[in-house]
Amino acid sequence: MHRYSPERVHLALVLLAVCLLLAACAGSTPVADAGQPISDPDAAQALDAGAGTDASGGPDAAPPDGSSAPDASPSPPDAGSSPDAGLDLKCTPTFTLQLEDTGPKGQVFADAVPDPEAFAQETGRTVCKILYRSPEEVRDANHLTLIIRDDPQYPGWKAGDVGDITVMISSDHLAKVKAQGQDVAREIRGILLHEMTHMYQHDDKAPGEGTYGRLGNVIEGVADAVRIRAGYPPTGARPSKSGAWDDAGYAKPAFFLLWVDGRHAGFLHDLNLSMVAGDGVAWTPDAFLSITGVGVDALWSQYAGAACCSGTSQLCCN
């Protein structure tokens, strides 16, 4: 028989509080609609523009190489005219826009991107030009559904795999970017470059593969490396050289990968191909040694001294 005792009641209350706390923590895994896990809830912490170097930092200053942003409406790829034609064709997905927010915040998107299909297709081609050299190398992804939703929690995410991909961009986030006087079209391009890299990049995710503990950070690093290489670094993104190269995602590994690519031409292309899923090989950082002839730890310590890739200059890591 349970006899009542104040100590036992106190203990029970403490235990209850702990359980509630644990339940609350366990329940916070973000879930996209229809129960799909958000494969890329990465932009959450960037809501306050510039906090954390995430995929959705506000627009940055002019691209480091000074070239103008490719915001103009793109010309459709012409199949026969250039060697890249096959690659362009492979990375021009069919497109569906779901403008869920038809209110003033949704209008911010519509005003910034009058032709979303052309805008998204051109972004896909830009991603592939940075990651690939021939259409055969490209991971299959045929259709993009772009959702514009009034989501105060995430500025953006990507869901789906091989074939049908869904990207969500938050109209709430875009309205905040606009309210801060920043370039909304540039922000959309940056988020889309990041999320569409997830659409086309290899990620080692196959049975018996994908076992590297920090694979997620490497995948996010490649996505931000493409965004930065295209001239759309997240606002506030700066190289970080403390700790390990992959103990965080996004800008930290991104700038490092771009620095390695600057020293070993084609590194980013080869790194992405080393992450092909279904090749029977679980990816590890040994790929750095196979590609460059130098181990990742040695490269990371060399990178520590690279002044051209630092908080004040990204001349050799863009």
Site string for Zn ion, 114-143 (x = CB under 5 A): ------------------------------
Query: How many Å apart are CA 32 and CA 279, to the nearest integer?
Result: 30
Is the Cβ of residue 43 or residue 91 nearer to Zn ion in the bound state?
43
Is the Cβ of residue 42 or residue 88 nearer to Zn ion in the bound state?
42
Q: Is residue 54 a contact residue for Zn ion (CB under 5 A)?
A: no
Terminus-to-terminus CA distance in the chain, angstroms? Answer: 70
Minimum distance between the CB of residue 73 and Zn ion, rounded to whole angstroms? 26
Minimum distance between the CB of residue 155 and Zn ion, rounded to whole angstroms? 11
Is the Cβ of residue 190 or residue 285 nearer to Zn ion in the bound state?
190
Judged by CB under 5 A, the residue of 39, 40, 267, 296 near Zn ion is 40
Query: How many Å apart are CA 105 and CA 103, to the nearest integer?
Result: 6
Restricting to residues 203-242, which ones interact with Zn ion according to CB under 5 A? Answer: 220, 223
For the chain, give the longest Cα–Cα distance.
Answer: 87
Is the Cβ of residue 271 or residue 306 nearer to Zn ion in the bound state?
271
Q: Return the amino acid letter for 25.
A: C
Closest CA to 98 of 73, 70, 120: 120
Question: Which residues are 99's β-sheet partners?
Answer: 148
Minimum distance between the CB of residue 124 and Zn ion, rounded to whole angstroms? 16
Is the Cβ of residue 55 or residue 309 nearer to Zn ion in the bound state?
55
Query: How many Å apart are CA 261 and CA 230, to the nearest integer?
Result: 14
Site string for Zn ion, 164-203 (x = CB under 5 A): ----------------------------------------
Q: Is residue 42 a contact residue for Zn ion (CB under 5 A)?
A: yes
Minimum distance between the CB of residue 220 and Zn ion, rounded to whole angstroms? 5
Q: Return the amino acid letter for 239.
A: P
Binding span for Zn ion by CB under 5 A among 37-45, 63-71, 102-110, 299-307: 37-45
Query: How many Å apart are CA 169 and CA 43, to the nearest integer?
Result: 10
Binding span for Zn ion by CB under 5 A among 36-44, 87-95, 147-155, 282-290: 36-44
Binding span for Zn ion by CB under 5 A among 34-42, 100-108, 111-119, 131-139: 34-42
Is the Cβ of residue 130 or residue 306 nearer to Zn ion in the bound state?
130
Distance of CA 88 to the CA centre of its chain: 21
Q: How many residues bind Zn ion (CB under 5 A)?
A: 4
Minimum distance between the CB of residue 156 and Zn ion, rounded to whole angstroms? 8
Minimum distance between the CB of residue 224 and Zn ion, rounded to whole angstroms? 8
Minimum distance between the CB of residue 41 and Zn ion, rounded to whole angstroms? 8
Site string for Zn ion, 60-99 (x = CB under 5 A): ----------------------------------------
Query: How many Å apart are CA 298 and CA 307, to the nearest integer?
Result: 17
Is the Cβ of residue 40 or residue 151 nearer to Zn ion in the bound state?
40
Chain positions contacting Zn ion, by CB under 5 A: 40, 42, 220, 223
